[in-house]
A = this chain, B = another copy of it.
Amino acid sequence: MERDRLETYADLIVKNGLNLDKGQELLVIADLDQADFVRMVVEKCYQAGASRVVVEWHDMPMDRLHCIYQTPETLSQVPAWEIARWKWRAERLPALLWLDSDDPDGMAGVDPAKRAQAQAARFPAIKPFREATENRHQWCIAAVPGVKWAKKVFPDKSEPEAVEALWEAILTAARANGDAVANWKEHNETIHRRSAKLNEYNFAALEYHSANGTDFRVGLLEQGKFCGAAEKDLSGRIFNPNIPSEEVFTTPKKGEAEGLLVATKPLSWQGVLIEDFSIRFEKGRAVEVHARKGQAALEKMIGMDEGAAYLGECALIGADSPINRMGVLFYCTLFDENASCHMAVGRGFNECVRDYNKYSLEELRELGVNDSMIHVDFMIGSEDLSIDGITRDGEKIPVFRNGNWCF
């Protein structure tokens, strides 16, 4: 990929994605695949005023070996240096950048139960630190192409051609062509206009219908709000947590979800691909799942903890979104979630409650913000999807028709 296009993308990540304070610290978590690009981003962060950048190189093939060969006990431990790193994050609130390039099939051959159990065992040690950072710093997830990921998306191309094609798709999806900063100004305004309108209605519920079998209703918090694109942290810093980001989303009310959701795209979870699946909800809880492929992983996923079977996100994206119209299946949630309306099981978003910082964590849980160690999106958008908003007075307002926004 041409260097000036990579520079544009790197600038977008540093300026719009992170928007660092002068003197702020930064944690970068990156795979090994595009080290030159990671270095370019790190240099730009220093030039933007970062006082210290800490790079954690992550390698899924190595994680795979650890999962296969370590005992469950060893795999479940949280080493002291990891706790020390979390303490730094909680105390100094460095911005967080995650540059993802994982192979969607990278964990094939690993026992999902062994991995999930270790993750569950590790979670209590990490949870307090994660909560201490929540909404207190800027964070951004963006992607770079890894060879295996690129071959998954473009299996008929040679490795270098596939990587180049995936770069092209990533840059297009990220609106990083031309004047990326101007693109994102306009884009942030459209998203904010739609979420403002939804927040005026303050719907009690949304109802979903599609010929694919989806027939579903989800309850919304009276104190809730829809968010999207640029966000503000508690100290007022504006940042774009996802590049790309097409969604308008909120946190649903725990306990109010009824009916069937039929997934319209595959889901990659912990390196396992789950395909052609549906989830049926009763009283907010996933009570039945069916998958043509990946049934065990899907069951494991919603069984990770008590909250893993409840919803934590409800997101709206028009079928005419650029990512959907590109017609590329990325096998990566960051992109595929922006092609399609979706839900997530697991942890909800405190920041989707108005004035959320006036509530304690316990109060937010009581309002109906779900809690879990996981947060996993799955896609339910289709070309014929209808969504109606149900007002607190019981009035029905069209929100989506034929897969697209009504406003």
In the complex, which residue of chain B has the Cβ closest to the Cβ of A61?
B39
Is A57 part of the binding interface, using a Cβ–Cβ cutoff of 8 Å? yes
Binds B, one of A79-87, A255-263, A323-331, A398-406: A79-87
Instruction: List B contacts of A39 (CB < 8 A).
Output: 59, 61-62, 65
Binds B, one of A68-76, A196-204, A217-225, A244-252: A68-76
Is A43 part of the binding interface, using a Cβ–Cβ cutoff of 8 Å? yes
Is A35 part of the binding interface, using a Cβ–Cβ cutoff of 8 Å? yes
Instruction: Please report which residues of chain A, range 177-213, place their CB below 8 angstroms from some CB of chain B when the two chains form the complex.
Output: none
**Chain A, interface SS category:** helix
Which residue of the partner chain, among B42, B57, B61, B79, contacts A65 with CB atoms under 8 Å?
B42
Is A354 part of the binding interface, using a Cβ–Cβ cutoff of 8 Å? no
Complex CA–CA separation, A148 to B236 (angstroms): 44
Interface centre among A51, A57, A68, A74 (most CB of B within 10 A): A57
Which residue of the partner chain, among B47, B55, B71, contacts A62 with CB atoms under 8 Å?
B55
In the complex, which residue of chain B has the Cβ closest to the Cβ of A38?
B62
In the complex, which residue of chain B has the Cβ closest to the Cβ of A28?
B62
Instruction: Please report which residues of chain A, range 85-118, place their CB below 8 angstroms from some CB of chain B when the two chains form the complex.
Output: 85, 87-88
Is A66 part of the binding interface, using a Cβ–Cβ cutoff of 8 Å? yes
Is A123 part of the binding interface, using a Cβ–Cβ cutoff of 8 Å? no
Instruction: List B contacts of A79 (CB < 8 A).
Output: 54, 84, 88
Complex CA–CA separation, A87 to B47 (angstroms): 34
Instruction: List B contacts of A47 (CB < 8 A).
Output: 69
Instruction: List B contacts of A238 (CB < 8 A).
Output: none
In the complex, which residue of chain B has the Cβ closest to the Cβ of A63?
B55
Which residue of the partner chain, among B38, B59, B61, B81, contacts A84 with CB atoms under 8 Å?
B81
Is A53 part of the binding interface, using a Cβ–Cβ cutoff of 8 Å? yes
Complex CA–CA separation, A38 to B69 (angstroms): 16
Is A129 part of the binding interface, using a Cβ–Cβ cutoff of 8 Å? no
Please name 23 pairs of A and B residues whose Cβ atoms are closer than 8 Å in the assembled complex, sorted by A: A32-B32, A32-B57, A35-B59, A38-B62, A39-B59, A39-B61, A39-B62, A39-B65, A43-B65, A43-B69, A46-B69, A47-B69, A50-B69, A51-B71, A52-B74, A54-B79, A57-B59, A79-B84, A79-B88, A80-B84, A80-B87, A81-B85, A83-B84
